[in-house]
A and B are shown apart, each in its own frame.
Chain A
Amino acid sequence: MSQAAVLSLDAIAFERDDNLLFSGVSVALEAGDILQVEGPNGAGKTTLLRIIATALNPTVGRLIWRGEDALRHRQTYLQNMLFLGHLPGLKQSLSPVENLQWWRRVHPDNTSLESLDVLARMGLRGYEDVPCYTLSAGQQRRAALARLLVTEAPLWVLDEPFTAIDKQGVAELEGLLVQHAERGGIVILSTHQDVGIPHIRRLQLTDMARVA
Protein backbone atom coordinates (compact mmCIF):
# COMPACT_ATOMS: atom_id res chain seq x y z
CA MET A 1 0.00 0.00 0.00
CA SER A 2 1.39 3.32 -0.94
CA GLN A 3 1.73 6.37 1.25
CA ALA A 4 -0.61 8.33 -0.95
CA ALA A 5 -3.69 6.61 0.39
CA VAL A 6 -6.57 9.03 0.65
CA LEU A 7 -8.81 6.84 2.77
CA SER A 8 -7.55 3.97 4.83
CA LEU A 9 -9.34 1.61 7.12
CA ASP A 10 -6.99 0.61 9.85
CA ALA A 11 -7.75 -2.75 11.47
CA ILE A 12 -11.43 -2.12 11.84
CA ALA A 13 -13.42 -4.52 13.96
CA PHE A 14 -17.04 -4.41 14.90
CA GLU A 15 -18.62 -6.13 17.81
CA ARG A 16 -22.20 -5.87 18.95
CA ASP A 17 -23.26 -7.31 22.25
CA ASP A 18 -20.14 -9.43 22.48
CA ASN A 19 -20.64 -10.89 19.00
CA LEU A 20 -17.75 -10.18 16.70
CA LEU A 21 -19.04 -9.39 13.22
CA PHE A 22 -15.66 -8.83 11.61
CA SER A 23 -12.21 -7.78 12.65
CA GLY A 24 -8.93 -6.65 11.21
CA VAL A 25 -10.45 -5.03 8.15
CA SER A 26 -7.67 -2.95 6.65
CA VAL A 27 -7.60 -1.40 3.24
CA ALA A 28 -5.98 1.68 1.73
CA LEU A 29 -7.69 3.51 -1.09
CA GLU A 30 -6.17 6.02 -3.45
CA ALA A 31 -7.78 8.53 -5.75
CA GLY A 32 -9.44 6.64 -8.60
CA ASP A 33 -10.14 3.45 -6.69
CA ILE A 34 -13.42 1.62 -6.85
CA LEU A 35 -13.83 -0.92 -4.08
CA GLN A 36 -16.48 -3.58 -4.01
CA VAL A 37 -17.26 -5.04 -0.60
CA GLU A 38 -18.26 -8.66 -0.97
CA GLY A 39 -19.48 -11.33 1.33
CA PRO A 40 -22.40 -13.59 2.10
CA ASN A 41 -25.53 -12.30 3.78
CA GLY A 42 -24.85 -11.39 7.37
CA ALA A 43 -21.11 -10.93 6.85
CA GLY A 44 -21.41 -7.27 7.74
CA LYS A 45 -21.27 -5.44 4.40
CA THR A 46 -23.86 -2.88 5.40
CA THR A 47 -22.28 -2.51 8.82
CA LEU A 48 -18.86 -1.85 7.31
CA LEU A 49 -20.27 0.73 4.92
CA ARG A 50 -22.12 2.42 7.74
CA ILE A 51 -18.89 2.53 9.73
CA ILE A 52 -17.15 4.17 6.78
CA ALA A 53 -20.05 6.62 6.63
CA THR A 54 -19.62 7.27 10.40
CA ALA A 55 -23.23 6.25 11.00
CA LEU A 56 -21.72 3.59 13.26
CA ASN A 57 -18.59 3.65 15.36
CA PRO A 58 -16.15 0.80 14.97
CA THR A 59 -15.42 -1.16 18.13
CA VAL A 60 -11.72 -1.11 17.30
CA GLY A 61 -9.78 0.49 14.49
CA ARG A 62 -9.47 3.83 12.79
CA LEU A 63 -10.74 5.53 9.72
CA ILE A 64 -8.10 7.76 8.20
CA TRP A 65 -9.00 10.43 5.68
CA ARG A 66 -6.08 12.32 4.11
CA GLY A 67 -3.87 11.49 7.04
CA GLU A 68 -6.31 12.55 9.72
CA ASP A 69 -8.56 10.52 11.93
CA ALA A 70 -11.97 10.85 10.30
CA LEU A 71 -13.87 10.38 13.54
CA ARG A 72 -11.94 13.17 15.23
CA HIS A 73 -12.29 15.52 12.28
CA ARG A 74 -15.78 14.38 11.54
CA GLN A 75 -17.04 17.66 10.10
CA THR A 76 -14.33 17.83 7.45
CA TYR A 77 -14.73 14.19 6.62
CA LEU A 78 -18.49 14.43 6.24
CA GLN A 79 -18.07 17.30 3.78
CA ASN A 80 -16.04 14.95 1.62
CA MET A 81 -18.24 11.91 1.88
CA LEU A 82 -21.56 10.93 0.38
CA PHE A 83 -23.43 7.94 1.70
CA LEU A 84 -26.40 6.24 0.14
CA GLY A 85 -27.76 3.64 2.47
CA HIS A 86 -29.99 0.67 2.13
CA LEU A 87 -33.01 2.92 2.48
CA PRO A 88 -33.23 5.60 -0.19
CA GLY A 89 -33.77 8.46 2.28
CA LEU A 90 -36.62 10.02 0.34
CA LYS A 91 -39.66 11.59 1.91
CA GLN A 92 -42.56 9.78 0.29
CA SER A 93 -44.96 12.67 0.19
CA LEU A 94 -42.43 15.02 -1.39
CA SER A 95 -41.59 14.98 -5.07
CA PRO A 96 -38.16 14.01 -6.40
CA VAL A 97 -37.31 17.68 -6.92
CA GLU A 98 -38.28 18.63 -3.38
CA ASN A 99 -36.34 15.69 -2.05
CA LEU A 100 -33.25 16.64 -3.98
CA GLN A 101 -33.59 20.24 -2.92
CA TRP A 102 -33.72 19.66 0.81
CA TRP A 103 -30.83 17.26 0.54
CA ARG A 104 -28.79 19.82 -1.39
CA ARG A 105 -29.42 22.45 1.28
CA VAL A 106 -28.22 20.10 4.00
CA HIS A 107 -25.15 19.17 1.96
CA PRO A 108 -23.88 22.50 0.67
CA ASP A 109 -22.53 22.23 -2.85
CA ASN A 110 -21.30 24.70 -5.38
CA THR A 111 -22.62 22.96 -8.45
CA SER A 112 -24.90 25.25 -10.35
CA LEU A 113 -26.87 22.38 -11.89
CA GLU A 114 -30.61 22.75 -11.84
CA SER A 115 -32.30 20.03 -9.82
CA LEU A 116 -34.79 19.51 -12.64
CA ASP A 117 -32.05 18.88 -15.21
CA VAL A 118 -30.32 16.49 -12.86
CA LEU A 119 -33.46 14.45 -12.42
CA ALA A 120 -34.03 14.44 -16.17
CA ARG A 121 -30.56 13.02 -16.60
CA MET A 122 -31.45 10.29 -14.12
CA GLY A 123 -34.36 9.32 -16.37
CA LEU A 124 -37.06 10.91 -14.27
CA ARG A 125 -38.28 13.44 -16.83
CA GLY A 126 -41.98 13.91 -16.36
CA TYR A 127 -41.86 12.55 -12.81
CA GLU A 128 -40.10 15.47 -11.14
CA ASP A 129 -43.22 16.85 -9.53
CA VAL A 130 -45.20 13.81 -8.49
CA PRO A 131 -45.00 12.53 -4.91
CA CYS A 132 -42.41 9.80 -4.47
CA TYR A 133 -44.95 7.27 -3.23
CA THR A 134 -46.39 7.09 -6.75
CA LEU A 135 -42.99 6.12 -8.18
CA SER A 136 -41.73 2.58 -8.67
CA ALA A 137 -38.90 1.23 -6.52
CA GLY A 138 -36.47 1.69 -9.39
CA GLN A 139 -37.54 5.26 -9.97
CA GLN A 140 -37.18 6.00 -6.27
CA ARG A 141 -33.67 4.59 -6.34
CA ARG A 142 -32.90 6.84 -9.31
CA ALA A 143 -34.27 9.84 -7.43
CA ALA A 144 -31.90 9.04 -4.57
CA LEU A 145 -28.98 8.42 -6.92
CA ALA A 146 -29.52 11.89 -8.43
CA ARG A 147 -27.49 13.13 -5.44
CA LEU A 148 -24.40 11.67 -7.11
CA LEU A 149 -24.74 14.23 -9.89
CA VAL A 150 -24.86 17.25 -7.62
CA THR A 151 -22.37 16.31 -4.94
CA GLU A 152 -18.80 17.46 -4.90
CA ALA A 153 -17.74 14.89 -2.36
CA PRO A 154 -14.80 12.82 -3.59
CA LEU A 155 -15.75 9.77 -1.54
CA TRP A 156 -18.91 7.87 -2.40
CA VAL A 157 -20.12 5.10 -0.14
CA LEU A 158 -22.99 3.22 -1.75
CA ASP A 159 -24.88 0.35 -0.17
CA GLU A 160 -26.47 -1.84 -2.85
CA PRO A 161 -26.85 1.02 -5.34
CA PHE A 162 -28.01 -1.26 -8.15
CA THR A 163 -31.04 -2.53 -6.27
CA ALA A 164 -34.27 -2.26 -8.26
CA ILE A 165 -32.89 -0.36 -11.24
CA ASP A 166 -33.20 -1.71 -14.78
CA LYS A 167 -30.39 -2.88 -17.06
CA GLN A 168 -29.95 0.45 -18.75
CA GLY A 169 -29.90 2.16 -15.39
CA VAL A 170 -27.23 -0.22 -14.14
CA ALA A 171 -25.07 0.56 -17.17
CA GLU A 172 -25.54 4.31 -16.67
CA LEU A 173 -24.70 4.08 -12.98
CA GLU A 174 -21.59 2.04 -13.73
CA GLY A 175 -20.58 4.72 -16.21
CA LEU A 176 -21.12 7.34 -13.55
CA LEU A 177 -18.96 5.50 -11.02
CA VAL A 178 -16.14 4.99 -13.52
CA GLN A 179 -16.31 8.64 -14.52
CA HIS A 180 -16.13 9.68 -10.87
CA ALA A 181 -13.09 7.47 -10.33
CA GLU A 182 -11.41 8.83 -13.44
CA ARG A 183 -11.78 12.33 -12.05
CA GLY A 184 -9.93 11.23 -8.95
CA GLY A 185 -12.83 10.18 -6.78
CA ILE A 186 -13.18 7.07 -4.67
CA VAL A 187 -16.16 4.73 -4.69
CA ILE A 188 -16.92 2.06 -2.12
CA LEU A 189 -19.94 -0.07 -2.89
CA SER A 190 -21.57 -3.28 -1.92
CA THR A 191 -23.55 -5.35 -4.36
CA HIS A 192 -24.51 -8.90 -5.09
CA GLN A 193 -24.44 -8.32 -8.82
CA ASP A 194 -21.46 -8.74 -11.07
CA VAL A 195 -20.34 -5.29 -11.92
CA GLY A 196 -18.96 -4.42 -15.33
CA ILE A 197 -16.33 -2.05 -14.01
CA PRO A 198 -12.74 -2.63 -15.04
CA HIS A 199 -9.97 -2.55 -12.40
CA ILE A 200 -12.44 -2.86 -9.56
CA ARG A 201 -10.85 -3.77 -6.25
CA ARG A 202 -12.55 -6.27 -4.00
CA LEU A 203 -12.75 -6.67 -0.28
CA GLN A 204 -14.00 -10.01 0.93
CA LEU A 205 -15.80 -10.13 4.26
CA THR A 206 -16.08 -13.70 5.37
CA ASP A 207 -18.84 -14.75 7.63
CA MET A 208 -16.99 -15.02 10.91
CA ALA A 209 -19.86 -16.74 12.62
CA ARG A 210 -19.75 -19.56 10.13
CA VAL A 211 -15.97 -19.90 10.25
CA ALA A 212 -16.02 -20.13 14.01
Chain B
Amino acid sequence: MGQGFLAILRRDVLLAFRNRGEIANPVIFFFIVVTLIPLGLTPEASRLAEIAPGILWVMALLASLLSVEGLFLSDYRDGTLEQLVISPQPLYLMVLAKILAHWLISGLPLTLLAPVLGMMLSLPEAGYFPLVLGLLMGTAVLSLVGAIGAALTVALRKGGLLLSLIVMPLYMPVLIFGSSAVQRSVDGFSIEGPMAVMGALLAFSLLISPFATAGALRVSMHG
Protein backbone atom coordinates (compact mmCIF):
# COMPACT_ATOMS: atom_id res chain seq x y z
CA MET B 1 0.00 0.00 0.00
CA GLY B 2 2.68 2.50 0.95
CA GLN B 3 4.89 1.09 -1.76
CA GLY B 4 3.52 3.34 -4.47
CA PHE B 5 3.88 6.33 -2.16
CA LEU B 6 7.56 5.65 -1.54
CA ALA B 7 8.29 4.76 -5.15
CA ILE B 8 6.84 8.02 -6.43
CA LEU B 9 8.42 10.10 -3.69
CA ARG B 10 11.85 8.64 -4.46
CA ARG B 11 11.35 9.02 -8.17
CA ASP B 12 10.27 12.65 -8.01
CA VAL B 13 13.03 13.67 -5.64
CA LEU B 14 15.55 11.94 -7.90
CA LEU B 15 14.08 13.69 -10.93
CA ALA B 16 14.29 17.03 -9.18
CA PHE B 17 17.91 16.32 -8.34
CA ARG B 18 18.61 15.56 -12.00
CA ASN B 19 16.94 18.81 -13.10
CA ARG B 20 18.43 21.00 -10.40
CA GLY B 21 17.99 24.13 -12.47
CA GLU B 22 14.24 23.83 -12.31
CA ILE B 23 14.17 23.65 -8.53
CA ALA B 24 16.40 26.66 -8.24
CA ASN B 25 14.09 28.83 -10.36
CA PRO B 26 11.34 29.59 -7.82
CA VAL B 27 13.94 30.22 -5.14
CA ILE B 28 15.84 32.64 -7.37
CA PHE B 29 12.54 34.26 -8.32
CA PHE B 30 11.74 34.76 -4.63
CA PHE B 31 15.15 36.29 -4.09
CA ILE B 32 15.06 38.67 -7.05
CA VAL B 33 11.52 39.90 -6.51
CA VAL B 34 12.22 40.69 -2.88
CA THR B 35 15.25 42.65 -4.05
CA LEU B 36 12.94 44.75 -6.21
CA ILE B 37 11.00 46.01 -3.20
CA PRO B 38 13.63 48.34 -1.69
CA LEU B 39 14.44 49.54 -5.20
CA GLY B 40 10.84 50.36 -5.95
CA LEU B 41 9.84 51.65 -2.54
CA THR B 42 12.53 52.84 -0.19
CA PRO B 43 15.77 51.58 1.29
CA GLU B 44 14.74 53.01 4.66
CA ALA B 45 14.90 50.22 7.24
CA SER B 46 11.93 51.29 9.33
CA ARG B 47 9.53 51.38 6.38
CA LEU B 48 10.83 48.08 5.00
CA ALA B 49 10.40 46.47 8.40
CA GLU B 50 6.79 47.56 8.41
CA ILE B 51 5.90 45.80 5.17
CA ALA B 52 8.37 42.91 5.35
CA PRO B 53 5.92 40.28 6.69
CA GLY B 54 3.40 40.92 3.94
CA ILE B 55 5.98 41.18 1.17
CA LEU B 56 7.75 37.98 2.16
CA TRP B 57 4.51 36.07 2.29
CA VAL B 58 3.13 37.40 -0.98
CA MET B 59 6.39 36.61 -2.76
CA ALA B 60 6.61 33.13 -1.27
CA LEU B 61 3.06 32.56 -2.47
CA LEU B 62 3.92 33.67 -6.00
CA ALA B 63 7.08 31.57 -6.05
CA SER B 64 5.13 28.52 -4.96
CA LEU B 65 2.49 29.22 -7.59
CA LEU B 66 5.18 29.42 -10.22
CA SER B 67 6.48 25.96 -9.46
CA VAL B 68 3.20 24.16 -8.89
CA GLU B 69 2.32 24.40 -12.57
CA GLY B 70 4.93 21.79 -13.38
CA LEU B 71 3.68 19.34 -10.77
CA PHE B 72 1.87 17.07 -13.24
CA LEU B 73 2.82 18.59 -16.55
CA SER B 74 5.82 16.47 -17.49
CA ASP B 75 4.11 13.31 -16.22
CA TYR B 76 1.14 14.14 -18.38
CA ARG B 77 3.22 14.78 -21.47
CA ASP B 78 5.40 11.68 -21.30
CA GLY B 79 2.60 9.26 -20.45
CA THR B 80 3.70 8.42 -16.90
CA LEU B 81 0.60 10.08 -15.47
CA GLU B 82 -1.50 7.57 -17.38
CA GLN B 83 0.61 4.75 -15.97
CA LEU B 84 0.01 6.08 -12.45
CA VAL B 85 -3.73 6.49 -12.93
CA ILE B 86 -4.09 2.87 -14.06
CA SER B 87 -1.59 1.34 -11.67
CA PRO B 88 -3.01 -0.90 -8.94
CA GLN B 89 -1.78 1.48 -6.24
CA PRO B 90 -4.21 3.97 -4.69
CA LEU B 91 -3.99 7.19 -6.68
CA TYR B 92 -4.63 9.17 -3.48
CA LEU B 93 -1.31 8.09 -2.01
CA MET B 94 0.68 8.57 -5.18
CA VAL B 95 -0.72 12.08 -5.57
CA LEU B 96 0.18 12.76 -1.96
CA ALA B 97 3.72 11.55 -2.68
CA LYS B 98 4.01 13.88 -5.64
CA ILE B 99 2.79 16.80 -3.54
CA LEU B 100 5.20 15.95 -0.73
CA ALA B 101 8.06 15.79 -3.23
CA HIS B 102 6.96 19.14 -4.62
CA TRP B 103 6.99 20.66 -1.17
CA LEU B 104 10.43 19.24 -0.42
CA ILE B 105 11.88 20.86 -3.53
CA SER B 106 9.95 24.14 -3.51
CA GLY B 107 8.33 24.99 -0.17
CA LEU B 108 11.20 23.84 2.00
CA PRO B 109 13.93 25.82 0.16
CA LEU B 110 11.69 28.89 0.20
CA THR B 111 11.21 28.51 3.94
CA LEU B 112 14.93 28.17 4.49
CA LEU B 113 15.71 31.21 2.37
CA ALA B 114 13.06 33.39 4.01
CA PRO B 115 15.09 34.43 7.11
CA VAL B 116 17.89 35.72 4.89
CA LEU B 117 15.43 37.82 2.93
CA GLY B 118 13.77 38.89 6.17
CA MET B 119 17.12 40.19 7.32
CA MET B 120 17.58 42.08 4.07
CA LEU B 121 14.16 43.69 4.57
CA SER B 122 15.06 44.60 8.19
CA LEU B 123 12.43 42.32 9.66
CA PRO B 124 12.49 42.79 13.46
CA GLU B 125 13.90 39.92 15.46
CA ALA B 126 10.60 38.71 16.85
CA GLY B 127 9.39 38.01 13.32
CA TYR B 128 11.78 35.23 12.32
CA PHE B 129 10.39 32.33 14.26
CA PRO B 130 6.77 32.84 13.16
CA LEU B 131 7.97 33.51 9.61
CA VAL B 132 9.80 30.19 9.37
CA LEU B 133 7.20 28.18 11.25
CA GLY B 134 4.38 29.75 9.26
CA LEU B 135 6.10 29.18 5.93
CA LEU B 136 6.95 25.62 6.87
CA MET B 137 3.26 24.79 7.25
CA GLY B 138 1.93 27.39 4.84
CA THR B 139 3.99 26.36 1.83
CA ALA B 140 2.77 22.80 2.37
CA VAL B 141 -0.82 24.07 2.22
CA LEU B 142 0.06 26.02 -0.92
CA SER B 143 1.46 22.88 -2.55
CA LEU B 144 -1.60 20.88 -1.56
CA VAL B 145 -4.10 23.46 -2.80
CA GLY B 146 -2.06 24.28 -5.88
CA ALA B 147 -2.02 20.61 -6.82
CA ILE B 148 -5.79 20.69 -7.34
CA GLY B 149 -5.45 23.57 -9.76
CA ALA B 150 -2.47 21.97 -11.48
CA ALA B 151 -4.43 18.75 -11.96
CA LEU B 152 -7.42 20.62 -13.37
CA THR B 153 -5.36 22.54 -15.91
CA VAL B 154 -2.72 19.96 -16.86
CA ALA B 155 -4.41 18.93 -20.09
CA LEU B 156 -4.98 22.46 -21.30
CA ARG B 157 -2.63 23.98 -23.83
CA LYS B 158 -2.32 27.25 -21.96
CA GLY B 159 -2.95 26.24 -18.40
CA GLY B 160 -0.46 28.47 -16.63
CA LEU B 161 -2.33 31.73 -16.33
CA LEU B 162 -5.62 29.98 -15.73
CA LEU B 163 -3.97 28.02 -12.93
CA SER B 164 -3.09 31.25 -11.11
CA LEU B 165 -6.60 32.54 -11.62
CA ILE B 166 -8.25 29.52 -10.05
CA VAL B 167 -5.74 28.87 -7.30
CA MET B 168 -4.97 32.33 -5.95
CA PRO B 169 -8.35 32.95 -4.28
CA LEU B 170 -7.87 29.65 -2.47
CA TYR B 171 -4.44 30.77 -1.27
CA MET B 172 -5.82 33.78 0.57
CA PRO B 173 -6.45 32.26 4.02
CA VAL B 174 -2.85 31.01 4.13
CA LEU B 175 -1.59 34.47 3.27
CA ILE B 176 -3.79 36.12 5.89
CA PHE B 177 -2.80 33.89 8.77
CA GLY B 178 0.83 33.54 7.73
CA SER B 179 1.63 37.20 7.41
CA SER B 180 -0.44 38.33 10.36
CA ALA B 181 1.32 35.80 12.61
CA VAL B 182 4.61 37.50 11.76
CA GLN B 183 3.07 40.92 12.25
CA ARG B 184 1.57 40.00 15.58
CA SER B 185 4.82 38.63 16.84
CA VAL B 186 6.63 41.81 15.79
CA ASP B 187 3.97 43.85 17.60
CA GLY B 188 4.48 41.75 20.71
CA PHE B 189 1.34 39.63 20.63
CA SER B 190 1.05 35.88 20.90
CA ILE B 191 1.11 33.87 17.68
CA GLU B 192 -0.66 30.79 19.00
CA GLY B 193 -3.97 31.64 17.38
CA PRO B 194 -2.86 32.10 13.77
CA MET B 195 -0.42 29.20 14.04
CA ALA B 196 -3.14 26.91 15.30
CA VAL B 197 -5.33 27.95 12.39
CA MET B 198 -2.45 27.37 10.00
CA GLY B 199 -2.04 23.88 11.44
CA ALA B 200 -5.75 23.29 11.00
CA LEU B 201 -5.57 24.48 7.39
CA LEU B 202 -2.69 22.07 6.81
CA ALA B 203 -4.56 19.14 8.35
CA PHE B 204 -7.70 19.96 6.42
CA SER B 205 -5.97 20.34 3.07
CA LEU B 206 -3.97 17.15 3.68
CA LEU B 207 -7.26 15.36 3.97
CA ILE B 208 -9.13 16.98 1.10
CA SER B 209 -6.54 17.92 -1.49
CA PRO B 210 -5.16 14.52 -2.57
CA PHE B 211 -8.72 13.34 -2.98
CA ALA B 212 -9.76 16.34 -5.09
CA THR B 213 -6.49 16.23 -7.01
CA ALA B 214 -6.91 12.55 -7.85
CA GLY B 215 -10.43 13.27 -9.08
CA ALA B 216 -9.23 16.22 -11.12
CA LEU B 217 -6.48 14.10 -12.67
CA ARG B 218 -9.02 11.54 -13.78
CA VAL B 219 -11.05 14.33 -15.36
CA SER B 220 -7.96 15.59 -17.15
CA MET B 221 -7.03 12.12 -18.37
CA HIS B 222 -10.52 11.48 -19.67
CA GLY B 223 -10.82 14.83 -21.37
A and B touch in the complex (CB under 8 A): yes
Interface residues of A (CB under 8 A from B): 53-57, 75, 78-79, 81, 83, 85-94, 98, 102-103, 105-108, 131
Q: How far is the CB of A193 from chain B (nearest CB, A)?
A: 21
Seed contacts A56-B221, A93-B18, A107-B87; 9 additional CB < 8 Å A-B pairs: A83-B83, A85-B83, A88-B78, A89-B82, A92-B78, A102-B7, A102-B8, A102-B10, A107-B88
Q: Which of A85, A106, A107 contacts B79 (CB 8 A)?
A: A85
- Find out whether the CB atom of A103 lies under 8 angstroms from the CB atom of B88: no
Q: How far is the CB of A110 from chain B (nearest CB, A)?
A: 13
Interface of B is mostly: helix
Chain A residues near B165: list those with CB within 8 A. Answer: none
Q: How far is the CB of B138 from chain A (nearest CB, A)?
A: 30
Nearest A residue (CB) for B83? A89
Query: What bracket does the count of chain B residues touching chain A fall in?
Result: 20 to 34
Q: How far is the CB of B101 from chain A (nearest CB, A)?
A: 12
Shortest 8 CB-CB distances between A and B: which pairs?
A: A87-B79, A105-B7, A89-B79, A78-B88, A102-B11, A93-B18, A89-B83, A79-B88
Interface residues of B (CB under 8 A from A): 3-4, 6-8, 10-11, 14-15, 18-19, 74, 77-80, 82-89, 94, 221-222
Can you give 29 A-B contacts (C-beta < 8 A)? A53-B86, A55-B222, A56-B222, A83-B82, A83-B83, A85-B83, A87-B79, A87-B82, A89-B79, A89-B80, A89-B82, A89-B83, A90-B79, A91-B11, A91-B78, A91-B80, A92-B78, A93-B19, A94-B14, A102-B7, A103-B83, A105-B4, A105-B6, A106-B3, A106-B4, A106-B8, A106-B84, A106-B87, A107-B88
Q: How far is the CB of A47 from chain B (nearest CB, A)?
A: 11
Interface of A is mostly: loop
